[in-house]
Structure 1
Amino acid sequence: MTLKEEGNSLFKAGDMQGAACCYTQALKLSDSPADSAVLHRNRSACYLKLEEYSKAEADASKALDTDPGDVKARFRRAQAYEKLGRLDQAFLDAQRCAQLEPKNRAFQDLLRQLGAQIQLQSAQLNSTDARVQQMFSVLLDSTSKDSDRQKAAQNLVVLSRDEGGAEQIFRNDGVKLIQKLLLSKQEDVVLSALRTLVGLCTGHQSRVSVFPAISFLIL
């Protein structure tokens, strides 16, 4: 029995870790691009089951580099993209799968599912954008009541901890607004501005660049 066959047997038996190990060993010995592509595709299926979606995407992509027409590899990459939250890329792959095999129900189901998710995501982003703009309007309006400004500032903190909300804050020139909030005479508003910064930058190294621009206001 070859390593690939052993991996297939383990996969059918539900031993995804063992199957992945067999495919990995087979890849080390393979000198055929076509065989390696199949092994990458098979290992991608293992990683999907193991919920290691980045690895599943990488292996499916390697298989597609060799054979762009490999519909199984493309379907697995679409599934991995979906789990990684990369819905636009998942949709494109699922769409291509459905074009290659229009009667495949699994492809059609995934395509519809992704379409619905993208529509929902778009609606949520539009809703979030409206909320961000509304809060900015309250905070920038000198005639706003102190209580309204405090509430808007607190809501901004909550939004900054959500990826979609944080992105909308940045797109709406939120850093400049935060600079102004840090100069507020209301302690609660200043505290909310600082918490918003923490929410925006947590886990996002690229966003940490906002700190030098406003550090002089905090000192």
Structure 2
Amino acid sequence: MSEEEIEKDPAALKEKGNNLFKAGDMEGAICCYTKALKLTSSKSDCAVLHRNRSACYLKLEDYNKAESDASKALDTDPGDVKARFRRAQAFQKLDRLDQAFLDAQRCAQLEPKNKAFQELLRQLGAQIQQKSVQLNSTDARVQQMFSILLDDATKDSDREKAAQNLVVLSRDEGGAEQIFRNDGVKLIQKLLQSKQEEVVLSALRTLVGLCTEHQSRVSMTKTLKDK
């Protein structure tokens, strides 16, 4: 089959993509799968192409696209264990551990003897447990900083240090979430009225840390500000 004929045949493009994948050419494989997707109208064929392209994106560490393609494959065939496993891997890398665990658990139910599925489940269980411990520790630190900042008897130097610690916590996703859940925005608004310049600067930096790349927090912050 000539190259021109391959370019018009989705099955041939898929086969070419598979060969490129085996050869380690992920970009080339993605190109073939994408072209094939534009040419085929078969839902089952599209699901396989999305699943294959997801594998390429995993190799390229583009986990958002890997998750998206795996999800598209699963929309057509929820029983596609390969697509579900790839989505679990993408979720794991995106730190969406609960979703990754559910997918990995489903994979293990479908194929109980698959060692790769069992290993991923073990990894995710350990990661979820570690994250839970970390969040509890982070919550305790947030509460401690709040107590210091809200205590009128706190020395100026201690208040400045606590405000700086809050900035550091806000730059970590777990810390930012705990600050937000503990009405941290209201505290920040109060800190912005402080006569201590360093405290005001830290409050502004904390607010930036909370809202960076998190649209829902930006919206909530605006709502609280308007009240």
Return the alpha-carbon distance in structure 1 between the equivalents of residues 124 and 49 of structure 2. Answer: 27
Match of 1:184 among 194, 200, 211: 194
Match of 2:72 among 45, 62, 78: 62
Partner of 1:117: 127
Match of 1:155 among 157, 160, 165: 165
Partner of 2:218: 208
Question: Which deviations, in whole Å up to 9, do the C-alpha atoms of 1:17-42 show, x marking residues without a partner?
Answer: 11111111111221221111111111
**CA shift for structure 1 position 3:** 1.2
Match of 1:51 among 57, 61, 64: 61
- Matched position secondary structure for 1:31: coil
Match of 1:16 among 2, 5, 26: 26
**CA shift for structure 1 position 213:** 4.6
Q: Give the aligned CA root-mean-square deviation in angstroms.
A: 1.7
More deviation in 177-186 or 94-103? 177-186
- 1:14-163 paired onto structure 2 within 5 Å: 14-163=24-173
Q: 1:34 to 1:211 in 2, by over 3 A?
A: closer
**CA shift for structure 1 position 5:** 1.1
Count of matched residue positions in the alignment of Structure 1 and Structure 2: 216
Could you tell me which runs of 5 or more consecutive residues in structure 2 were left unpaired when the two chains were aligned.
Answer: 2-11
**CA shift for structure 1 position 64:** 1.0
Question: Which deviations, in whole Å up to 9, do the C-alpha atoms of 1:159-212 show, x marking residues without a partner?
Answer: 111111111111010111112212222222222212211222222233334257
Return the alpha-carbon distance in structure 1 between the equivalents of residues 141 and 79 of structure 2. Answer: 44
Matched, 1:171 2:164: no
Return the alpha-carbon distance in structure 2 between the equivalents of residues 180 and 29 of structure 1. Answer: 59
The percent of aligned pairs where both chains have the same amino acid is: 83
Matched, 1:199 2:171: no
Return the alpha-carbon distance in structure 2 between the equivalents of residues 8 and 202 of structure 1. Answer: 39
Whichever residue aligns with residue 203 of structure 2, its letter is A
**CA shift for structure 1 position 215:** 8.6
Partner of 2:5: none
Question: Which deviations, in whole Å up to 9, do the C-alpha atoms of 1:42-89 show, x marking residues without a partner?
Answer: 111111111121111111111111111111110011011111111111
**CA shift for structure 1 position 11:** 0.9
- TM-score of the aligned structures, taking structure 2 as reference length: 0.89
* Structure 1 runs, 4 residues or longer, greater than 4 Å off: 211-216
- TM-score of the aligned structures, taking structure 1 as reference length: 0.92
Return the alpha-carbon distance in structure 2 between the equivalents of residues 181 and 89 of structure 1. Answer: 37
